[in-house]
A and B are shown apart, each in its own frame.
Chain A
């Protein structure tokens, strides 16, 4: 089942074309890899989908509805969660509270409901389950800024999952992590996929991408240059050129 349709998406910043005519689909229960050299426009793509920037042209449809003109909070309430390239949990709040913020998306739209206390037993229970599944059980009361990087990343994912998303946008989750931490995080992402949630994964770590993704989209200089299975991508001359060209 197709969750996300991106059609001819473009974004201009001043005179700079960050994205040009990008089209692809994302399905539920699938991890779609988004790769490309630095500056290809991958994070911009995420920012457009999640509503942080307005698009210049094109369409973005989520579960059949256009989300092009929606604000970030509306999009997250609809069921798209995300993490950030440079990890940014709510630094001075503890892990539990971080997840609670996202959990509140069911209450925020109603002013009246928002006046209720957030520390309810039922809610805390659900939040604790999310925290446990993220492998953060013993750290529930730790202040976010004191966590090591790997746990901050898990926190970001747990927080996004509190939105009860159908689609999860993960921006370079393995960046800065050691091999074992990275492997553990990948396992977490697989579990998310197995729950039927669709995942868009930006990654630079080729190992991770080839392992996790059955389908990959390649961006370069704002355009899609290839789409296919890991084998197809690996042997695609355009892709090799794009990466080599950058290194040269």
Chain B
């Protein structure tokens, strides 16, 4: 049997991968930096938790609603913020994170510092899901999210996003409504983060405001930056590596936050494209390898 510990790690990693992927939509596609992404993670988690514990909604309804609520909040906050200057979004998202965390912490309705407990794994076929089954469930959902992402990449929306990332002003001159597409990315990213939050709540079975503060936003940002902003697989690879490392190495776990900070610092300073970004040591090595081994007869 697969150990319970391993399954727990795997589930957490998939949730982080989903989170990192959702931040990548905002940062990578729309070229916007969100420093408070954990806020939407938290909004999704609390929505799902409260619908389940207070209103008796089943998991299968509370989860999609978590995504919807997070998306709506993303729209409400994103629209005014994105209309103003770029830098404002960074600050505003940071502030949003603090405010949302404060709301969860201080307003008794949300359970205060003790958070919310008693959130169970979903039921199906008349019994509660096992952890391995939950793992398969969120893996499947994540797979569909990636398919959706691929589909969007091939659509006019994806093209608009690519042009915004390249050169906002030129994109505007070519008919792209830059603000609208940025807001779209923000809403989508927030909604998926909310979805991840819902999965997180039902898995952990209890949630606290501290789980969704600025520190958590840094963790997610590190995964995206480490793996490569804007690349398809970068954030996922980042989530896997940064998710596993603290589990297998005690010292890394101890100094986790320091490592995240140094990672952000170091990556951006020396390898801004991330692990999988173009021009990174890894991708150049892979390129060289594929030239030697991949193409038949055309190598050097």
Task: Please count how many residues in chain A sit with their CB below 8 Å of the partner chain's CB atoms.
Answer: 39
Say how far A205's CB is from chain B's closest CB, in angstroms: 23
A101 to B176, CA, bound (A): 8
In chain A between 147 and 179, which residues have their CB closer than 8 angstroms to a CB of chain B? 159-160, 162-163
CA distance A50 to B167 in the complex (A): 16
Q: A114-B155, A114-B160, A119-B154 are in contact. Are A90 and B175 (CB under 8 A)?
A: no
On whether the beta carbons of B156 and A76 are closer than 8 Å, the reply is no
Using Cβ atoms and an 8 Å threshold, which residues of chain B touch A115?
152, 155-157
- Report if A108 contacts B (CB, 8 A): yes
- Complex CA gap A74/B154 in Å reads 24
How far apart are the CA atoms of A138 and B184 in the complex, in Å?
Answer: 36
Is A108 a contact partner of B166 (Cβ separation < 8 A)? no
**Contact status of A163 and B174, CB under 8 A, knowing A90-B166, A93-B166:** yes
Q: Which residues of B contact A38 (CB under 8 A)?
A: none
Report yes or no: A101 in contact with B155, Cβ–Cβ below 8 A: no
A237 contacts which chain B residues (CB < 8 A)?
A: none
B1 at the interface (CB under 8 A from A): no
Taking the complex as formed, is B58 at the interface, i.e. its CB lies under 8 A from any CB of chain A? Answer: no
Q: Which of B152, B156, B162, B174 contacts A159 (CB 8 A)?
A: B174
A133 within 8 A of B: no
User: Is A118 touching B154 in the complex (CB atoms < 8 A)?
Assistant: yes
User: Which of B151, B170, B177 makes the CB contact (< 8 A) with A90?
Assistant: B170
Interface size in chain B (residues, C-beta < 8 A):
25
A117 CB within 8 Å of chain B:
yes
Q: Beta-carbon contacts of A81-119 to B below 8 Å, as 1s and 0s?
A: 110100011111100010011101101110101111111
**Separation of A5 and B4 alpha carbons in the complex (Å):** 73
Query: Are A105's CB and B175's CB within 8 A?
Result: yes
Q: Which residue of B lies closest to A84 (CB)?
A: B170
Given contacts A90-B167, A93-B166, contact A50 B160 (CB under 8 A): no
Give Cα distance in the complex from A114 to B170, angstroms: 19
- In the assembled complex, the Cα of A115 lies from the Cα of B174 at a distance in Å of 18
**CA of A117 to CA of B162, assembled, Å:** 14
By a CB distance below 8 angstroms, the chain B residues around A89 are 170
**Given known A92-B166, A93-B162, contact A52–B156 (CB-CB < 8 A):** no
Q: Are B175 and A97 in contact (CB under 8 A)?
A: no
Residues of chain B in range 127-185 having any CB-CB distance to chain A below 8 Å = 151-152, 154-160, 162-163, 166-167, 169-178, 181, 184
Query: A89–B171 Cα gap in the complex (Å)?
Result: 10
- In the bound complex, residues from chain B placing their C-beta under 8 Å from that of A188 are none
Contact (Cβ within 8 A) A72 B173: yes
Q: Which of A27-62 contact B (CB under 8 A)?
A: 50-52
A140 within 8 A of B: no
Name the B residues within 8 Å of A105 (CB-CB): 174-176
Is residue A17 contacting chain B, with contact meaning CB distance below 8 A? no
| Chain A hits for B173, CB < 8 A | 50, 52, 72-73, 76, 81-82
A76–B169 contact, CB under 8 A?
no
Determine if A102 and B169 form an interchain contact, defined as CB atoms under 8 angstroms apart. no
Q: Determine if A77 is an interface residue (Cβ-Cβ < 8 Å).
A: yes
Chain A residues with CB under 8 A of B169 = 52, 72
Known: A92-B166, A116-B155, A118-B159. A101 touches B172 (CB 8 A): no
A234 at the interface (CB under 8 A from B): no
A93 to B173, CA, bound (A): 17
Task: With CB as the reference atom, state the residue of chain A lying closest to B177.
Answer: A73
Q: In the complex, A106→B173 CA distance in Å? A: 14
Q: How many Å lie between the Cα of A215 and that of B243 in the bound state?
A: 67
- Neighbouring A residues of B178 by C-beta, 8 Å: 73
Q: A88-B167, A90-B167, A93-B166 are in contact. Are A104 and B172 (CB under 8 A)?
A: no
A107–B151 CA distance with the chains assembled, in angstroms: 16
Which chain A residues lie closer than 8 Å to B175 at the CB level? 73, 76-77, 102, 104-105, 108, 163
Residue of A nearest to B175 (CB): A105
The smallest beta-carbon distance between B238 and chain A, in angstroms, is 21
Chain B residues whose C-beta falls within 8 Å of the C-beta of A84 in the assembled complex = 170
| B220 → chain A closest CB, angstroms | 25
B160 touches A117 (CB 8 A): no
- Known contacts A52-B169, A90-B167, A91-B166; is-contact A76 B174 (Cβ 8 Å): yes
Extra contacts besides A90-B162, A114-B155, A115-B157 (15): CB < 8 Å: A52-B173, A72-B172, A73-B174, A73-B178, A76-B174, A77-B175, A101-B159, A104-B175, A114-B156, A114-B157, A114-B160, A116-B156, A117-B151, A118-B159, A160-B174
Please provide the 4 A-B residue pairs with the shortest distance between their CB atoms, ordered closest to farther. Answer: A105-B175, A72-B172, A90-B166, A102-B174
Binding site for A on B (CB under 8 A): 151-152, 154-160, 162-163, 166-167, 169-178, 181, 184
Task: Point out residues on A near B: beta carbons under 8 Å.
Answer: 50-52, 71-74, 76-77, 81-82, 84, 88-93, 97, 100-102, 104-105, 107-109, 111, 113-119, 159-160, 162-163
Name 20 interchain pairs, CB-CB below 8 A, sorted by A. A50-B173, A72-B169, A73-B174, A73-B176, A73-B177, A76-B175, A77-B175, A88-B167, A90-B166, A93-B162, A101-B171, A101-B174, A105-B175, A108-B176, A108-B177, A114-B155, A114-B160, A116-B155, A117-B151, A118-B156
